[in-house]
Chains A and B, each alone.
Chain A
Amino acid sequence: MTPLRTLSNVLYQRPNLYLALLLVTPLGWFGAIYLGSLLNLLWQGFYTFDDFTMAVTPTLTLANFAALFNPSNFDIIVRTVTMAVAVSLASAVLAFPIAYYMARYTRGKTKAFFYIAVMMPMWASYIVKTYAWTLLLAKGGVAQWFTQQLALDGLLQAILGIPGVGGSTLSTSHLGRFLVFVYIWLPFMILPIQAALERLPPSLLQASADLGAKPLQTFMQVTLPLSIPGIAAGSIFTFSLTLGDFIVPQLVGPPGYFIGSMVYAQQGAIGNMPMAAAFTLVPIVLIALYLAVVKRMGAFDAL
C-alpha cells in the first residue's frame, strides 16, 4: 500500500482527525493572530496614559472609556454617525433605480454589462477613487467647470452657504465629503438591492396588478416592502464602511475629526494607544447595534 493510500485510510476512519488537520492552520491564524490582536487591543483600552510624560503604564482604568463621553469626543461620534446615516440614506435612494432597472428591465448581455459596470467601480482602487474626487472637486477642476458651463454658479454658492452642509469651497465642504462617501460606497448598496429584487417573482407583481392595483400601488405595497431586506443588507456596508473611514475625511471636507481619524491621530501623532483602543470600541458597538436592528429587517437573508 502506498503511503498516500495508508494516509487516506487513516483519515477515512478518523473523520475528526481529518477535520482537525484541515482546521488547525486557519484556526491558528485567526485565533492567534486576529482574535488575539483584537483582545489585546481591547485590553490596552484599560491601560493608563500619562498626559505629561506621554507614557503608557499598565495600570488598569476605565478613564479612557469614560472620556469617550467628553463633549469633544462625543461630538466626533455624533458627526461620524450623522454622516454614516446620511450616506446610507442617499446611497439607498440613488441605488434603488439602478438596481430596479437591472433586476426588472435587463436580461442576458445587458444584465451582465450592468453587473460588471457596477462591480468594476466597486473593486477599483479605493485610494484612486478618492484621489479622482480631489481632482474633480478642486478649484478650477471638473466640477467647477461644469457648474460654470451650466451657469449654476449662483446655486452652488447658495448651497455652500448653508451651515452644516456647505463650506468655503466644494472640496472643503461637508457636501463634498458626503458626495465622495456616497460615490465610493454606492455599489455596495446597488448589488444587495438588485439581488433582493431579482428574487422577487414577476408573478407577484402580476397578481397585484390582477387584483386591481395601479403600478404605483404595486410598487408601494409589494415591490418596496419586499426589497427592504436588500436595502438593509446594503446599508450594513455603507454604514460600517463610512463609520470606520479615516482617509476620505482627511482628504475632503472641513477640518474636524471623524472616529477613524481620531483613532489614527491618537495612536500616531499623540501616541495614546489606550485612548485609540477605547475609540475603536465605538464603531464595534455601533455596528453591533446596527446589525441587531437590520437583522430584524431580514438583512442577513439578503446578504
Chain B
Amino acid sequence: MPLAVQFTQVSRTFGEVKAVDQVSIDIAEGEFFSLLGPSGSGKTTCLRLIAGFEQPSSGSIRIHGLEAAGVPPYQRDVNTVFQDYALFPHMNVLDNVAYGLKVKGTPKAERHSRAENALAMVALAGYGARKPAQLSGGQRQRVALARALVNRPRVLLLDEPLGALDLKLREQMQVELKNLQRQLGITFVFVTHDQTEALSMSDRVAVFNRGRIEQVDTPRNLYLNPATPFVASFVGTSNVVRGALAEALSGSPAPFSIRPEHIRLGAAGPDSRHVQVEGLLRDIQYQGSATRFEVQLDSGQLLAVSQANDSWQAMPQAWQPGQRVQAHWPQEAMTQLQDTEAY
C-alpha cells in the first residue's frame, strides 16, 4: 500500500529551538493516525509541515510519494481542520464550505450542491445561510469539518479539533469522527494532547516529546508495551521503577513500568511467581469505579495501586492509611523500558 505521508529525518528549527528533531514517520493510506504529546512537543509543527504552512529545515516530506518541499499549501491535496476552526467571519456557512471549490473555479451550481451535501454529512443541513457567529462551538466545529471534506482531500489534518468542546460533546464527536473516517476511507492525521482521545480513535499513535518521536504503535501496544519512561507515564498512569530496586525486583538494571491496576494488595499465594513487596499505606482515594492506593516501599519508592470496585458490595477489607501492607504483581506485567528521562 502506498504511503499517504512519509517523513524522513525531518527537522524544523525556529532560531535556537528545535521544534521538530529528526522525525521519521510513515502514515499509510486510509489510516487514522494520531500525533500525541504535551504542548510544545512538536506535534502541531509536524501537522503544519504536512499542510505546507511550515517548511522543513532539513529532511524530506513526501505526500503520496511526491516531494512536498516548496509546494505551497494551496497546491497540496490535503486539508486542515483548525483548532480555532478559522471560519471566515464575513461569509455565511454555505460560502465558507464552498470556498475551496470557488477558488478552484468550480461552477456556482455545482459548488453549492456539493457544499449542501457536505453540510448534510455533518448533520447541519439547512444551516447554510447563517453566519459563523450565530453557531455554537460544536456546530462551528462541524462546519470546519465540512469545509475541509467538501474538497475531497486525500489526507485530512485535524489540529486538536475537539479541544474547545465540553466533555459530553467531545465524546460524541470522537465517535462521529471515527465513523466518518471509516466511511470515507480518507487518511486522518489527528493532533491531540489527550491520550484517551488518541487511544480510543486511532489506528496508530505517534508519541512526541521535545520534538522527537518516542514511540509509534497501535493504542493497545502503546499502553501495554510502552518503550520509554515518557510513554509509560504520558499514556495512562504508570509506576516507573529504576536503579537498584528495579534490579532487585526484575533482575535487570533497566527501568521497568508497572501499571497501577496490575498490582494487587495483600500477600501473593505461596506457589505463585509474583513479585512481592511491602510498604506503608500512605493514602487512599475513592474514585468511583476504582480505588487508588499510595504505597511507600521501604526503599522510598512510591507505588500507585488501583483496585477496581467491580463488586456492588462494600470493599471487603477496610484499609487504613498508616498501616503496613503487602503488594504483588505477576512477572509478565512488568515492561522493560529504555533508560531515558521520564515525563
| Interface, chain A (partner B; CB < 8 A) | 8-9, 12-13
The residues of B that contact A12 with a CB separation of less than 8 Å are 72
User: What residue of chain B has the Cβ atom nearest to residue A1's Cβ?
Assistant: B75
The residues of A that contact B74 with a CB separation of less than 8 Å are 8
**Contact of B251 with A by CB under 8 A:** no
**Contact of B15 with A by CB under 8 A:** no
The residues of A that contact B70 with a CB separation of less than 8 Å are 13
Task: Give the CA-CA distance A8 to B74 in the complex, in Å.
Answer: 10
Interface residue tally of chain B, by bracket? under 10
Majority secondary structure of chain A interface residues (helix, strand, loop or mixed): helix
Task: Give the CA-CA distance A9 to B74 in the complex, in Å.
Answer: 10
Task: Encode contact with A along B59-90: 1 for CB under 8 Å, 0 otherwise.
Answer: 00000000000101011000000000000000
Within 8 A of A (CB), among B24-79: 70, 72, 74-75
Task: Give the CA-CA distance A8 to B72 in the complex, in Å.
Answer: 9
The residues of B that contact A13 with a CB separation of less than 8 Å are 70, 72
Task: Give the CA-CA distance A8 to B75 in the complex, in Å.
Answer: 11
- A-B contact list, 7 entries, CB within 8 Å: A8-B72, A8-B74, A9-B72, A9-B75, A12-B72, A13-B70, A13-B72
Chain B: minimal CB distance from A1 (Å): 10
Chain B: minimal CB distance from A181 (Å): 44
Chain A: minimal CB distance from B73 (Å): 9
The residues of B that contact A8 with a CB separation of less than 8 Å are 72, 74
Chain A: minimal CB distance from B228 (Å): 38
Task: Give the CA-CA distance A9 to B75 in the complex, in Å.
Answer: 10
The residues of B that contact A9 with a CB separation of less than 8 Å are 72, 75
- The 5 nearest A-B residue pairs measured at CB: A12-B72, A13-B70, A9-B72, A8-B72, A13-B72
Chain A: minimal CB distance from B96 (Å): 22
The residues of A that contact B72 with a CB separation of less than 8 Å are 8-9, 12-13
Task: Give the CA-CA distance A129 to B155 in the complex, in Å.
Answer: 64
User: What residue of chain B has the Cβ atom nearest to residue A9's Cβ?
Assistant: B72
The residues of A that contact B75 with a CB separation of less than 8 Å are 9
Task: Encode contact with A along B166-187: 1 for CB under 8 Å, 0 otherwise.
Answer: 0000000000000000000000
Task: Give the CA-CA distance A9 to B72 in the complex, in Å.
Answer: 7
Chain B: minimal CB distance from A184 (Å): 40
Task: Give the CA-CA distance A13 to B70 in the complex, in Å.
Answer: 6
Task: Give the CA-CA distance A12 to B75 in the complex, in Å.
Answer: 12
Chain A: minimal CB distance from B64 (Å): 20
Chain B: minimal CB distance from A232 (Å): 34
Task: Give the CA-CA distance A8 to B70 in the complex, in Å.
Answer: 13
